Amino acid sequence: MLRLKLHWQILIAIILAAIVGHLVGEESGFLGVAFYDVFDFVGTLFINALKMLIVPLIASSIIVGVAGIGTSGDLGRLGGKTLLFYAITTLSAILVGLVLVNTVQPGLVNGEPAQELLALSADAGVVAAKVGEKGAGDVVEIFLRMVPPNIIEAAANGEMLGLIFFSILFGFFMTRLGHETADPLFRFWDAVFHVMMRMTEWVMLFAPIGVFGLVARTVAKTGFDAAAPLIVFALTVLAALFFHAVVTLPTLLRIVGRVSPLALYRAVAPALLTAFSTASSSATLPITMDCVEKKAGVSNRISSFVLPLGATVNMNGTALYECVAAMFIAQAYGLTLSFGVQFSIVVIALVTSVGVAGIPSASLVAIAIILSAVGLPVEAIGVLFVFDRILDMARTSINILGDACCAVIVARLEGEEGVLAGEPMEETVRS
């Protein structure tokens, strides 16, 4: 019964939900129970379950992630360079997304917030107050928020920035302990992370039902009008991803790596196509390594360090998408997010991409994290689901491309010769 892949199940659920929601409308019911309430209940239950996982997931994944990077300290310079480039590419991706979403404003339809159209039920005023409270008016506030006076309270209030910062520190100083104390601690958190991953997988089994509830609720309330802003949103994301792939990354390759971007595209094309069709960085990893080593000519020493790390840490496309999505929801509520709030979105997207990567359906969980960190209602996830799969395919390809670029650039900085010179040319000649 359930042998269909999850994303197909979700797709079917969305289609069914659209049909059912359209037929049922907001009023009708059965035995005195309004269908709308049932959809609402199912959707809320699913969203709650996702939210429930956030705090332990964030804490454990970041602690384990940071401690994992920290312990490979013997790679020193190489590790530093890699991380630096990952941070740069991710940051530039996020910025591209932010600029574009602020220009296109997919959350506004005819100059009006699309809240009604998307059936986002939370009261805009309440949301605005919450965002104001969490999102911080100015940048100083954000730094204050990063160091919360009480870490348990921060966790209880869902102040992700503080929790993330604390987890990074904890993970870092865990590696600075003697082995005797650090090892059990690392294994403990690693195990917590594994348990949380299993729980996430379990929750995701219910994704088709949850998505059905969320989408059916939206359609029952507004009909198909919701589709218009969503299409604009999807196009915005695609445009931003495209810009990142054909402008930002090539520029970096040219300037820092001094290699031909076109040669790189040609070399990693198989990996990109695999990433696009599987929507999974880790499943693509073997192919990426093959392409980067054999076709781009990067040494195994570098590719075997940079690429696996990138598959877990570097998520250009995902970070970009998260930002655009959060901004889209905020726009739909008619909120003008201050520079401070947007900055905190950037920081959270950047930092969570370090930890959250290995999680199944990472993007969904990550968006839940960002939305609740900024104070936006997580219920909005439902509408984002509609185009999630297609965008996920595009995102993953960009992630892989970002990884490959970093591998090439780091290799060049390490003084490797013959990267993207010669070999790929020969291949084209041969073919």
Partner 1 sequence: MRVRWRRRPAALGPRPQMKLLRLKLHTQIFLALVLAVVAGLLTDPDTRLLGVSLFAAYDFIGSMFLNALRMLIVPIITSSIITGIAGIGSSEALGRLGGKTFAYYMMTSFLAIVVGILAVNMIQPGIVDGEPAREILGLSAEHAADVAEKVGNHDASSLTNVFLSMIPPNIVAAAADGQLLGLIFFSLLYGFYMTRIGDEYAQIQYKFWCGVYEIVMRLTELVMKFAPIGVFALVAKVVAGIGQEDLGSLVQSLGLFFITVVLSLSFHAFVTLPLLLATLGRVNPLRHYKAMVTALLTAFSTASSSATLPLTIECVRDNAGVSNRVSSFVLPLGATINMDGTALYECVAAIFIAQAFGLELTFVTQFTILLIALLTSIGVAGIPAASLVAITIILSAIGLPLEAVGVILAVDRVLDMFRTSVNVFSDSCGAVIIARSEGETGILTETGDAPRV
Q: Which residues bind partner 1 (CB under 8 A)?
A: 37, 41, 44-45, 47-49, 51-52, 54-56, 152-153, 155-158, 184, 187-188, 190-192, 194-195, 198-199, 202, 378
3-state secondary structure of 108: strand
Least gap, CB of 44 to partner 1 (angstroms): 6
Q: What is the DSSP secondary structure assignment for residue 380, as one 8-state letter?
A: G
Least gap, CB of 153 to partner 1 (angstroms): 8
Least gap, CB of 206 to partner 1 (angstroms): 11
**Residue 179: burial class (beta carbons within 10 Å; 0-12, 13-18, 19+):** exposed
- Residue among 158 and 223 whose Cβ is closer to partner 1: 158
- Residue among 21 and 377 whose Cβ is closer to partner 1: 377
Least gap, CB of 191 to partner 1 (angstroms): 4
- Residue among 1 and 152 whose Cβ is closer to partner 1: 152
Least gap, CB of 16 to partner 1 (angstroms): 22
- Residue among 18 and 378 whose Cβ is closer to partner 1: 378
Residues 6+ apart with CB under 8 A from 310: 82, 86, 399, 402, 403, 406, 407
- Residue among 44 and 299 whose Cβ is closer to partner 1: 44
Using CA atoms of 332, 333, 338, 344 in order, give the dihedral in degrees to the nearest 10: -80
- Residue among 213 and 297 whose Cβ is closer to partner 1: 213
- Distance separating alpha carbons of residues 202 and 53, to the nearest angstrom: 11
Cβ contact 128:331 at 8 Å = no
CA-CA distances (angstroms) from residue 426 to 266, 268, 296, 355, 420? 12, 15, 12, 40, 11
- Distance separating alpha carbons of residues 284 and 278, to the nearest angstrom: 8
- Distance separating alpha carbons of residues 209 and 279, to the nearest angstrom: 22
Least gap, CB of 368 to partner 1 (angstroms): 10
